[in-house]
Structure 1
């Protein structure tokens, strides 16, 4: 196992992009010992007839750049197309007990898995098996288990074809436990936007960025999470668009960007300023910051109308398309500035500056990420963003609307084709008609509910289609104990990770093809499809040589499990679907004709085809039939009170990371190199506690349940972060998050405001 890198903490002065991105790729890519096929994949990435990146869900433009990939996309490609191999010999050399002590990085750096494996308890090692042995044993075990207690989890990378087959397999089996990675990040969006405007996703398309005059941004780190978006923001700034950003930390991507494809900027070292205003709101303080803007707008409108001047708000839109405006307006009028300033962490003057931009906007896009959704009252933060848009009619017109930025490259699409634990979102009537069975109609387990059942020992089986569920979830210590008692674990994966190293009674490791690899089936080379954050659907074709001739595709693995575990059903052609994925797309079209008409004919359309969105046309599929204003239940989204010694921990990704995948130990933008075991802290808070740069501390949970959750050995790093707030890396600090510390309605773990205390190490 590789040792810890030399630790260096040094402020980074450069812009996002530029030579820094080149250096970041140069630091990671050579370690994967890439061949020419990886370079070809990058050349084809995110282009028509090409391959969709396995990283974020930003769209594939109809007219792509020469290089339509970013630093993190290149790292993700290298990670998948590495020539490093994790063969059965590796597992013979290392026991599971030994591997439990390895870092996340080192586990995946062992390379691509090459053979199906079964855990052998006697030797504490994984041993190679045949695919037939694996499928037969998994099927026999599933037949013995209570289907209502088996989880079918999906990460956000699986294609639409795989996701459709997987969700159908689960329902035919009798399970409706279909959580996915959306439960951990953007479920607040899915629930909140559905309630407020009748649509669970963005109403905008990529072209809307060419028509907006204002962009407001909350809780999203563009430089790390969706770097290709910077090209769109750069163009917007050059035509005078105002960009107003709210985020606890100063993130370099929202500050300045050097375009790697601009020879002048690269040569001269110049950059484009992205944000015209940057407000470092306190963790969870977005509710009050937006409330302040709304208060200013509503009171200015009251004054203008009283004086007979032109209204500030769009009252025609409000009257025709919304409900409960007056209830929200009264709440805003009565709000006290002292409360707004205290809870937002911003000065009144700063909020007034932001309000001036809002008041003159004609077409405003609202961008946000998990800094909004991952709070106890995350729904209220989201509702406040929607309120701000509705007040001036900024939904359903060109250049305006909510634009949540998704993480996983197909997490939104999986929900579109049936990965959901909610019966009201499942196409049960159509599935019954097509496949002649009675789908489960009960509420399944989401991520939090699945964790509860794992912890209390009532989960009988866990099938994991990609991802690293155990590492990604809260309440880590209790989860590990429960995970090891699950009677059946099935992991469909490309690389080894922490979730695979706490096997239960029966544990199987099934290696699959990567998206960028050639997928040859009986009818020839296959393509798959994905959906981006804009609800556009694209084809993707891998061409690289598979990492091993023992690998199966994800559809083939799903079909293998289904045929072994389920009674034969002449209406479900598993073998034909595996032979020809276009038949799966026909089935998707039959199930969802309104979204997928002429699916196979349209999948290669440049820029993808849009599945549609009623709210974008001001058709509101809500309970009231109109867009709905909502007054917040709290002034801050954190969901706990401040008190002496208590801090709000914001868990973060580095720019050398994608979710639980760690590409390296160099967080360039934050100047932290060689370690992830840090706490980012405000200077004034350090002084108050007598702490100095480099001091070693522990963080302890300060939740109301009084459970003892502690992470030791963390290095203090002075950082530009609001007082009372701390920053630290996910997933290492998930240990501190209680399973019940989640967004109230959506159950998204509240990792952006975790109550903790600091203990100085002795």
Structure 2
């Protein structure tokens, strides 16, 4: 077969519309409709008995952790329904009774499959046997586990350098799997360990590390109940972390106030109907946000600077607005920050935000006498060129108010996938931790590499230019999660080998290297047994607590293996002589946990302490210990205003999720909170911007973005008039990831600019001309 053979793969799948239906945006979240939707998905995919049995064990102390988001479980849990609609959908999706193997791939070539939508690909069912796509072939075929391991090991041995291999990790993996995977990569000889946090909360980690000394949040769940004010910025809890609404409800019932900062007004922050309370079933629910600030996309820094300047002026009168005792004792940079704030013109800041000044003044009034303040945020702050600075500016507010290290106050980055924070805690990182390396050498008896590895953006570039030739994926859908879909696809196709450890089919399985391998693995909800003994994993929630997770369902197939077992057996096939007993670790997870306790920072007696409620990892901010920072103090920082220069015909695009998806997994085609049904190829636009372009409701348009003289296109979308600030538009990812340039990302974190992309909108028949 010719070395120039290339599979003709569609990156977008079907672009045909699916009979859209529109309704009014829903003004309240959850309620009995949410319960109905959750059960509908479960019953359809799993059957009634299997579905109910699993739901009763999800997020319970003797059950398994939800495979969806990383929101923490309360100490006092509902024994009936400690889950949300999206968690139930994730469970149904993972535990479907539909199955696929080599027989299905005999009928479908990868080229044919690529013309299906991401939703259709996901619906095929669980992968239940190892598969290989050989060079020059268009069809996956069956392969034994041993032959798959040997093939991978042989390809890895052909590399000229360990740094020609990339080991990517998704946040769904357990601590045990992630630690073993990272150990294999280091033993192999590389720190090329990009992970999904590079694409989402890396900006948070960098900003929090620079200002507070730890790249994690400082709050625990109970803090939200006690807060006087909770600011929710660039986050949509009603869709992405619905169980968070219960915590916000408790805050409201205790007299707390909620401030929403987001270009879109989202249903979950308008009204919440808790289906576990009578008022949420037959009543009117609880109104959530006391103030909504519909800020222009990525104009959060001007907004916070304006709020801080107004607070500083008030403080100059009576010195009671800012916590000067806290500032003096725990912070550095106060005088410089205040001087910098005073140089800004308030009218200019206000204009940049696009927010009505009365709403800002109301916000200032709520913050003026409050000291128990929590700031929650997600991708709406992190995925910009100035993503790190965005978070640093919000940290300034907390430091000036003394809102750290006490109940009801602190930082709360709301993580996405259910163990993405745990992956990093156990060592999935491309950068070098010299102390961790020393512990690896001491306790695991091999010398890990000391050169920094590649993050996601750097890995894409290395594969694209031929410097990386093998790409291994522990979970995830890398192609659709990464920016610049066409560029990413070309990068993957340049590899000699791509390996996916997966539960379900996705588009990354179709866009492979010369050889593609799929290794099917257990889902979070499935029993993991060895010699009749039930094994468990540990995971870390978004607030730093380690707890156990024990699957309860019968596995999809006897031929499916756990992630630690797959990694261990692959490592055993690769290494001829190595000080670690890889197979033993794949059989007995206690060996892995013992190594985690010795090597990973903060882990201690995990096997015992992770039982029941679990235990928290150390957090210096909770103890107000900033000794690791300059002058031993938290850092107040100077952050520049964002620089966005749009051409007259450009708009600012933010990518968003629908209510029927989690990350790149599409559960359905509805977004009922926004009133969109049976369609994903839509663009939300202000009516004034539509009028200026001669566009009408449901006109078909193409989108382009132009960066560095390169025009990127996303074709065939329907225009929907929506309440969004003028000059701003929103559309779903991954459909619009095509428009996000791979080489534009946040400074210092390399997080893609998926929430602030300059675009043009054209009627489909138009012929766009590139203008940089």
SS of the counterpart of 2:140?
A: strand
Asked whether 1:744 is paired with 2:747, we answer yes
What is the CA distance between 1:152 and its match in structure 2?
0.3
TM-score, structure 1 length as denominator? 0.96
> Is residue 191–residue 449 contact of structure 2 (8 Å, CA) maintained in 1?
yes
Q: Which deviations, in whole Å up to 9, do the C-alpha atoms of 1:383-429 show, x marking residues without a partner? A: 11100000011011111001110001000001000000010377100
For 1:162, what is the secondary structure of its paired residue? helix
The answer for the alignment partner of 1:316 in structure 2 is 325
1:95 to 96, 109, 118: 109
Q: In angstroms, what is the RMSD of aligned CA positions?
A: 1.5
Structure 1: distance between partners of 2:317 and 2:680 = 52
CA distance in 2, matches of 1:566, 1:349: 66
CA contact (8 A) 2:716 2:764 kept: yes
Distance in 2 separating the partners of 1:115 and 1:293: 57
2:22 counterpart of 1:9: yes
The reply to whether residue 659 of structure 1 matches residue 663 of structure 2 is yes
- Following the alignment from structure 2 to structure 1, what is the Cα–Cα distance between the partners of residues 687 and 531? 63
Structure 1 distance, partners of 2:728, 2:706, is: 14
Q: Is the 8 A contact 2:279 2:285 kept in 1?
A: no
User: Matches of 2:434 and 2:73 in 1, distance apart?
Assistant: 27
Q: Which residue of 1 aligns with 2:611?
A: 604
User: Quick check: 1:616 aligned with 2:622?
Assistant: yes
Contact 1:34–1:81 (CA under 8 A) maintained in structure 2: no
Query: What is the distance in 2 between the residues matched to 1:735 and 1:557?
Result: 33
The CA deviation at 1:529 is 0.5
Matched residues in 1 for 2:532 and 2:590: separation? 10
CA distance in 2, matches of 1:632, 1:264: 44
Asked if residue 643 in structure 1 is aligned to residue 647 in structure 2, the reply is yes
Instruction: Please say if 1:273 is aligned against 2:282.
Output: no
1:642, distance to aligned residue in structure 2 (A): 3.0
Q: CA deviation at 1:275?
A: 0.6
The verdict on how the C-alpha distance between 1:659 and 1:337 changes in structure 2, with shifts beyond 3 A counting, is same
Q: Does structure 1 residue 133 correspond to structure 2 residue 132?
A: no
**Per-residue deviation, 1:36:** 2.3
Spell out structure 1 runs of 4+ moving beyond 6 A.
none
Give SS of 1:615's match.
coil
What displacement does 1:224 show? 0.7
**Structure 1 equivalent of residue 316 of structure 2:** 302
In the alignment, which residue of structure 2 is the partner of 1:686? 690
Question: Is 1:528 aligned to residue 537 of structure 2?
Answer: yes
Partner of 1:625: 632
Q: Which of 354, 364, 367 lines up with 2:373 in the alignment?
A: 364
Given that residues 218 and 372 in structure 1 are in contact (C-alpha distance below 8 angstroms), is that contact kept between their aligned partners in structure 2?
yes
In the alignment, which of 223, 229, 234 is matched to residue 249 of structure 2? 234
Q: Paired residues, what number?
A: 749
Structure 1 residue 28 corresponds to structure 2 residue 41: yes
* 1:544 is aligned to 2:553: yes
- TM-aligned CA deviation for residue 33 of structure 1: 4.3
CA distance in 1, matches of 2:753, 2:77: 36
Residue 84 of structure 2 is matched in structure 1 by 70
In the alignment, which residue of structure 1 is the partner of 2:595? 587
Q: Distance in 1 between matches of 2:645 and 2:126?
A: 46
Conserved 8 A contact 1:41-1:544: yes
State the alpha-carbon separation in 2 of the partners of residues 629 and 483 from structure 1: 42
The aligned residue for residue 235 of structure 2 is: 220
- DSSP-derived class of the 2:630 partner: coil
Deviation at 1:149, TM superposition (A): 1.7
Measured at CA, do residues 192 and 394 of structure 1 come closer, stay the same or move farther in structure 2, by a change above 3 Å? same
Alignment map for 1:668-683 (pairs within 5 Å) = 668-683=672-687
Q: Which residue of 2 aligns with 1:160?
A: 175
SS at match of 1:462: strand
Q: What is the CA distance between 1:123 and its match in structure 2?
A: 4.1
Residue 308 of structure 1: aligned partner: none
Whole-Å Cα distance in 2 between the matches of residues 523 and 567 of structure 1? 30
The answer to whether the 8 Å contact 1:172/1:566 transfers is: no
Tell whether the 8 Å contact from 1:35 to 1:83 is kept in structure 2 after alignment: no
SS at match of 2:55: helix
Q: Tell me, which stretches of 5 or more residues in structure 1 are unaligned?
A: 306-310
Q: Determine if contact 1:21/1:71 at 8 Å carries over to the other structure.
A: yes
**Alpha-carbon distance in structure 1 between the residues aligned to 2:178 and 2:48:** 30
Against the structure 1 CA distance between its residues 189 and 360, is the aligned structure 2 distance closer, same or farther, given a 3 Å change threshold?
A: same
Distance 2:744 2:219 in 1: 31
- Is the Cα contact below 8 Å between 1:420 and 1:426 reproduced in 2? no
| In 1, Cα distance between equivalents of 2:607 and 2:221 | 23
The answer as to whether partners of 1:56 and 1:226 remain within 8 angstroms in 2 is: yes
Q: Say whether residues 1:42 and 2:55 are aligned partners.
A: yes
* 3-state SS, counterpart of residue 613 of structure 1: coil
Q: 1:465 aligns with which of 466, 474, 479?
A: 474
Question: Does the aligned pair in 1 maintain the 2:371–2:402 contact within 8 Å?
Answer: no
**Mapped contact 1:521–1:578 kept (Cα < 8 A):** no
Q: Secondary structure at the match of 1:179?
A: coil
TM-score, length-scaled by structure 2: 0.95
Q: For residues 506 and 252 of structure 1, what CA distance do their matches in structure 2 show? A: 45
Report the more deviating stretch, 665-674 or 26-35: 26-35
Q: What is the distance in 2 between the residues matched to 1:601 and 1:289? A: 46
Q: Is the 8 A contact 1:529 1:538 kept in 2?
A: yes
Partner of 1:715: 718
Please list, as runs of the form range in 1=range in 2, the aligned pairs for 1:173-572 lying within 5 A after superposition. Answer: 173-268=188-283, 270-305=284-319, 311-424=320-433, 427-522=436-531, 524-570=533-579, 572=580
Within 1, Cα distance between the matches of 2:43 and 2:53?
16
Whether the 8 Å CA contact 2:705–2:713 is kept in 1: the answer is yes
CA distances 1:7-29 after superposition (whole Å, capped 9, x unpaired): 10111334100133134335533
Residues 140-159 of structure 1 aligned to structure 2 (within 5 Å): 140-145=154-159, 146-159=161-174
Summarize deviations over 1:614-635 as a string: whole Å, max 9, x none: 111110132342100111122x
| Separation in 1, partners of 2:576, 2:650 | 55
In the TM superposition, residue 478 of structure 1 has moved relative to its aligned partner by: 2.0
Counterpart of 2:8 in structure 1 is none
Residue 35 of structure 1, CA deviation: 5.2
Distance 1:185 1:335, change over 3 A: same
